[in-house]
Structure 1
Amino acid sequence: MMDFDEPFRGTEAVATGVLTRHRLARHFVRLHRDVYIEPGVEPTALLRAKAAWLWSRGCGILAGTSAEAVHGTRWLDPSASAEIVRDGHVRAVPGIIVRTAQDVESCVVDEMVVTTTARTGFDIARSGGDVGRRIEILDALCHATGLKAREITAHAARHRGARGAAQVERILGLVDGGAASPPETHTRLLLIRAGFPTPETQIEVFDGDRFVARADLGWRQWRVLVEYDGAHHWTDPSQRTRDIERYTVLPEMGWTVIRVGADLLYRRTEVLVDRVGQALRRAGLRSDRSGGCVRDAARLRT
């Protein structure tokens, strides 16, 4: 049975008798040559990758955003064009970027050929553009797949002459697959740029043998935690109940919890940096390690 919520080949649907040519033309959306989908389906990076794979008729390797999506990376731009690597000269079409490359390491995922996770990470790291956004995507890729920065480093060592390879090591030094969302990555990078010791991610707190909480990031040594509260922390009743409980218990155990929302993170960065600095200094962080943390807010946003 053909799933019309997924991209499909029109010729295949007609040949198998699932659709008539008339119904295909009148009732479905044409994404690419011979690639269709049911009207009203929201586009995602994964959907665009599948459509590009069908368009290529299996000739090529999904790369870039498309490979990230197939490997399970979240938080990708749903409007971004799909990307595919093919041999020879193949003209790009609207919605699909076609590249040529040699020695591209690949694997098969869900019957589609894609760049390996290490190659995908390498391509992200050297892609250019905003450094913070690249690190967010790398964090998400590592979080989704278990990929380690050292695996990307090893891959980069085999491609030293590739375009953009020189900047990969610097980018990978800031990657942490523990971040569960782009705002968590943004928070971590902000605190590092502000001069604080690099925070640990996904800190588990126990009271004896009893699990109490898993915090987004923080410093065990000073018992300071930083938590990013997304919308679900306020709209999901069960999440709200858990939050009330743990934010009562953690201070009783000697932990300081700094809660961060979008406004504080993106518009009042100097306030966030000041709160973290005060908490760490009260907990014993020497001033010479955190001195000068409150810097120009515009610089902290870079």
Structure 2
Amino acid sequence: MTATVTDTATGEEPAEVRPIDQRPPREGSAWRRFSSSMGLRLVVPVVLGLLWWFTTSRGMVSALIVPEPAAVWNALKVYLLDGAWNADIWSSVRGTLWSFIVGLVLGIVGGALMAFIASLKTAVYPYVLAFQAFPKIAIAPLFVVWLGYGDVPKVIIGASLAFFPVISATMAGLLDVDPDEHALMRSIGASRRQELRHLRLPRAMSYVFPSLDVAVVGALLGVITVEIVGTEYGLGRVITERAAYGDSAAVYAVLIILAALGAALHVVVGLAHKAMPRSIVPK
């Protein structure tokens, strides 16, 4: 329905005035948003897969460098579905989870201590940076020689890569407090524990959770690095072994498994973020 209004001063009728629709815009369903998001995420792998199939089917590259998709699929069926790599996959997953947990705990505790004890940060943090600068592929053989071919060297290297982004984010979050908010907490007589619980901790968690994606990938990369150097089990060991035999299809199959593991860990971190209460982690 439309209406016209006459200007009493001029006697002219202005342009037609349409009523404003007061209804809020309808939002798409959750399924529609999910399907749209998944569709966008599938664009890149579909394009890469088509390009991979095209180049290998036309013989544009050697099979030793880029094997055909069918050969990689056969390798996945032979080694993965038949259970030949089960022990290696579990070893890598176990090492990654322990590395992530150790790095997370040490990063949060160390970041909190250095945020509140300036002298500790001055004394220790430069050495943390120096150790982080060491190429892990260079020091991994030392840990293997010292500690054997089990999970301990993998956890140490993996935790060192997961530790750094967490400790940096924790320090930044605990120290990045708005002066006005801090003054408000003081004016209402809040204790240090209340200030930590209601002001500093939520701010720190908003820094820490984005760093966990980097930390969990770092843990996985550290574990694979040690396995490539030399361990009894692990996907890194499989890469080294299959590459030595020229089985590039199996190497690509392992890379696909590692990509799937990385994506799964990212999803787990995202679910943990959503599960945390808003009072602790602002969404």
TM-score in same-fold range (> 0.5) = no
TM-score (norm 2): 0.21
TM-score (norm 1): 0.20
Higher strand share: 1
Higher helix share: 2
Larger Rg: 2
